Amino acid sequence: MLGAFKINGGNQLHGNVQISGAKNAAIAIIPASLLSEGVCRIENLPYIKDVNYMLEILEKLGSKVTRVSDHIVEIDNSNITSHVADYDIVQRMRASYYLVGALLGRFKKAAVSMPGGCNFGERPVNLHKKGFELMGADVNLQGGIFAAEATHLHGANIYCDLVSVGTTINLMIGAVLADGLTTIENAAKEPHVVDVANFLNSMGANVKGAGTDSIRIKGVKKLSGCTYSLIPDQIEVGTFMMAAAATGGDVTIENVIPKHMDAVSAKLVEMGVDIIENDESIRVKRTGPLKCANVKTLPYPGFPTDLQPLIVALLASANGTSIVNEDVWENRFQYVGELRRMGANITVNGRAAIIQGTKHLVGCPITATDLRAGAAMVIAGLMADGETIVNENKYIDRGYEYFETKLRNLGADIERIDSED
């Protein structure tokens, strides 16, 4: 049996929805807590599978994890017994590379199995490797294991050849307990890079400049425990913005940092959607038709690649022809075939998708190919005529908390079902 969502399209979404804590901050901050021997209390955690996997990985390394509630966890890393994360414990977590920065920082050695590529391309770690080597570590990437060891982990000037979120965060984590000053140039500026830096500082680290392209980390001798609350999930906000726009609804999205959404808000306005920003909420309302638009994904503050499949789904029903360029990942249009089954007119040419808007998508069985493509399928289903079955909803559960419940509370006709294999 495969899990699926069954959607009857056509309902406009109305009402208010609360955004959960940021997934991509959570799955970096949980391993980063390994740097401290104190107790870290992490609040506003999203209740999603990827967080649970990361907590399980820490438990296997010897952390004492106490679930205070669905959204609060206390992690005590005073008795870590291993610096080795085997394949059987990390295989479900692509972001397990953060364990390298954390274990290398704390124990000066780490050995972490790396899951393979993902559905939108290889996940190379060459930039992470280069950075740790500059900090004095011997790094070995053989046999699917990311192994790093240093007799003297020291500060270094690191220039990233391209803007990489994972590299920026991993090197920042690794540099906190290193000897001396590390600078990371051409750093990623995503909101969760800043969140990880704030978390590290709340444990006593000295990280400055996060959110700019130049980050400076002055090594400290020891970190303490802390209490830290995660920022809201920028990609979940974008998802509900798209869902509201797709259905011609009127939705107020709460627990939001509107500034994080500037690129998305600007694009939706261009498409004919009303966006009203308040201090901590965004209201998204559409009364007229959707207009076509061209989109290019870029590192923050550009349009996020993780919302690319969702805006493609939206543009599939817009008036006119749109072009979406994927500038971050080499192969992130694999889901397009599923949208075509629903009647979307999309041609892919290398890193560009050319979308000829059609008036009506038609519901049918489709399959999620990854987390964000899965969310795009759900949005297509909400817009489509008739019934859509989105198979493989396990991908969506990796990153969205109570997704179908939140949508149903806004008026969507969506339910979770088991579908025949």
Residue 15 touches ligand UD1, criterion: CB under 6 A:
no
Binder to ligand UD1 among 236, 306, 392, 404 (CB under 6 A)? 306
Which single residue brings its beta carbon nearest to ligand UD1?
A: 166
List Cβ neighbours of 33 (8 Å cut-off, separation of 6 or more): 40, 42, 58, 63, 75, 77, 102, 203
Residue 329-368 contact track with ligand UD1, rule CB under 6 A, x = bound: x---------------------------------------
Stretch that binds ligand UD1, among 82-90, 119-127, 171-179, 214-222 (CB under 6 A): 119-127
Task: For residue 8, list its beta bridge partners.
Answer: 387, 413
The dihedral over CA atoms of 101, 107, 109, 115, expressed in degrees to the nearest 10, equals: -50
Cα end-to-end distance, the chain, whole Å: 5
* Residue 57 token pair: 């990985």
Rounded CA-CA distance 329/390 in Å is: 24
Residue 140 touches ligand UD1, criterion: CB under 6 A:
no
* Residue 73 token pair: 């966890």
Residue 388 touches ligand UD1, criterion: CB under 6 A:
no
Rounded CA-CA distance 160/170 in Å is: 12
> Of residues 71-110, which lie at the interface with ligand UD1 (CB under 6 A)?
95
Give the position of tokens 């306005």. 269
Binder to ligand UD1 among 66, 78, 126, 287 (CB under 6 A)? 126
Could you write out the DSSP letters of every residue in 388-409?
A: EEEE-THHHHHH-TTHHHHHHH
Residue 199 touches ligand UD1, criterion: CB under 6 A:
no
Rounded CA-CA distance 240/236 in Å is: 6
Residue 276 touches ligand UD1, criterion: CB under 6 A:
no
> Of residues 225-244, which lie at the interface with ligand UD1 (CB under 6 A)?
none
Q: Is 364 one of the catalytic residues?
A: no
Stretch that binds ligand UD1, among 107-115, 118-126, 142-150, 353-361 (CB under 6 A): 118-126
The dihedral over CA atoms of 18, 24, 30, 33, expressed in degrees to the nearest 10, equals: -110
- In the complex, what is the shortest distance from the CB of residue 130 to ligand UD1, in angstroms, rounded to a whole number? 8
CB of 167 or CB of 393, closer to ligand UD1: 167
Residue 117 touches ligand UD1, criterion: CB under 6 A:
no
- In the complex, what is the shortest distance from the CB of residue 323 to ligand UD1, in angstroms, rounded to a whole number? 20
Binder to ligand UD1 among 104, 125, 284, 384 (CB under 6 A)? 125
Residue 36 touches ligand UD1, criterion: CB under 6 A:
no
Rounded CA-CA distance 311/351 in Å is: 15
Residue from 40, 118, 226, 292 carrying the catalytic annotation: 118
- In the complex, what is the shortest distance from the CB of residue 24 to ligand UD1, in angstroms, rounded to a whole number? 4
Give me the numbers of helices (H) and strands (E) for the chain, helices first please: 14, 24
Binder to ligand UD1 among 41, 92, 123, 216 (CB under 6 A)? 123
Rounded CA-CA distance 93/91 in Å is: 6
Rounded CA-CA distance 311/304 in Å is: 10
What value, to the nearest 5°, has the Cα angle with vertex 64 and ends 59 and 68?
Answer: 110
Binder to ligand UD1 among 27, 34, 172, 176 (CB under 6 A)? 27
> Of residues 152-171, which lie at the interface with ligand UD1 (CB under 6 A)?
162, 164-167
Binder to ligand UD1 among 11, 20, 24, 247 (CB under 6 A)? 24
Site of interaction with ligand UD1 (CB under 6 A):
24, 27, 95, 123-128, 162, 164-167, 305-306, 328-329
Catalytic residue numbers read 118
